[in-house]
Structure 1
Amino acid sequence: MSVPIYGLDKELAEKAAAKYDPQREAEAREWIEAVVGEKLASDSLQESLKDGVVLVKLANKTVPGFNGKPNASKMPFKQMENIGQFLQALDKVGVPKAEQFQTVDLFEGKNMNQVVDSIFALSRHAVKSGFGGPLLGPKLHEKREVAFTPEQLQSGKNVIGLQMGFNGGANASGVSFGGRREIGGQDPGKRS
């Protein structure tokens, strides 16, 4: 049974629901099932992940050196500890805080968009860290250093761009300076 929400919470929930993409959820679900090797228990992604057990298993498979211990207890604080372990794994693999969800986003179903985004981010960062499994979404960019020779740097200084040296025939005629307009080089208030 869900608790009715009102006011700003209701508006935010409606806005999040309007942006929610079921296709991305389905992709995340398929990826989780493929990596963990088991079907999720519920048709609801939130219900399947809420206890954090699957998330800890997912982190153990994708994050090098992570060895989380999922707790199968039905007590809410134990379930939140599992979610916390998953968030620690996201930190360890390098997922930026801005791409991570908060525990309540999943546990209370407040922001499932962010949960799905975090799963996509885990996939990208895990593959970059050496995870050999499937990739969910686009690959992270790889930093590529470019080195120029001194001759190449010098030749770049000798280029005159189109924006330099041409004013398109513009001049200062009819331009106002300090609240007065000069016409023909004279101040109209000072005629001789």
Structure 2
Amino acid sequence: MSTLYGLDKEIQEKLDSKYSVAREQEAREWIESTIGEPLPSDDFHESLKDGVVLCKVIGKLVPGQGKYKESRMPFIQMENIAKFLAGAEALGVPKHNLFQTVDLYEKKNMLQVVDAIFAISRYGYKAGTCNTFLGPKLAEKNEQNFSREQLNASNAVFNTYQYGYNKGANQSGMSFGARREIAGRDPYAQYK
């Protein structure tokens, strides 16, 4: 990995400072419980870098999506990561919750990798393909169906808040465009 300078270095330092080892450990445990085997290395990045473990995860969550090749060749490892990301999208994970292949392969943004694993766990749980999830549960869609009568009744309601009328507010003594004297001092004196 090349040495970073200037703005690139500052950005990388900022990303590294936000990284949480506790969240990494949660992600590690979730992956191990999902695939039913321990990660091959104590180094989280090294365990995921070839994409094999990630493909095993996506294979459990989205049947038929977990095909991978074991190889030491970089382009095959990156291809495995790309297959994982495609499987995550097939699961319903939005693209903005995922990472780019270089984020993991070149260890550029491990924070985003861990965040993506959290998101994938939630979508897998929602789909019913895994028993646990990480982070907050996904919100359920709450559709409201109103009858034509209810919609028409809502049109008859006069919204006083948008016009500045509020029964609870005390607006006495206020007038549009008036200057206020505060304790005998003119707040606008400095501008004269």
Q: Matches of 2:94 and 2:103 in 1, distance apart?
A: 17
Extract structure 1 runs of 4+ deviating beyond 3 A: 149-162, 164-175
Verify the 8 A CA contact 2:27 2:118 in the aligned structure 1.
Answer: yes
Percent identity, aligned pairs only, is 51
Distance of aligned partners of 1:155 and 1:52 in 2 relative to their CA distance in 1, 3 Å threshold: same
Deviation at 1:44, TM superposition (A): 1.6
The amino acid of 2:133's aligned partner reads L
User: Alignment partner for residue 101 of structure 1, among 99, 102, 108?
Assistant: 99
Deviation at 1:90, TM superposition (A): 1.2
Partner residue, 1:27? 26
Q: Which runs of 5+ in 1 are unaligned?
A: 176-192
Deviation at 1:33, TM superposition (A): 0.3
RMSD of aligned Cα (Å): 2.3
The amino acid of 1:24's aligned partner reads R
Distance of aligned partners of 1:165 and 1:82 in 2 relative to their CA distance in 1, 3 Å threshold: closer
Partner residue, 2:42? 43
Verify the 8 A CA contact 2:65 2:83 in the aligned structure 1.
Answer: no
Partner residue, 1:116? 114
Q: Matches of 2:57 and 2:101 in 1, distance apart?
A: 16
Distance of aligned partners of 1:172 and 1:33 in 2 relative to their CA distance in 1, 3 Å threshold: closer
Deviation at 1:158, TM superposition (A): 4.5
Distance of aligned partners of 1:31 and 1:171 in 2 relative to their CA distance in 1, 3 Å threshold: same
How is 1:10-89 mapped onto 2 (pairs within 5 angstroms)?
10-63=9-62, 65-89=63-87
TM-score by length of 1: 0.80
Deviation at 1:153, TM superposition (A): 3.4
Q: Which runs of 5+ in 2 are unaligned?
A: 180-192
Distance of aligned partners of 1:166 and 1:60 in 2 relative to their CA distance in 1, 3 Å threshold: closer
Rg bigger for which structure?
1
Partner residue, 2:186? none
Verify the 8 A CA contact 2:51 2:81 in the aligned structure 1.
Answer: yes
Deviation at 1:112, TM superposition (A): 0.2
Distance of aligned partners of 1:155 and 1:128 in 2 relative to their CA distance in 1, 3 Å threshold: same
Deviation at 1:149, TM superposition (A): 3.2
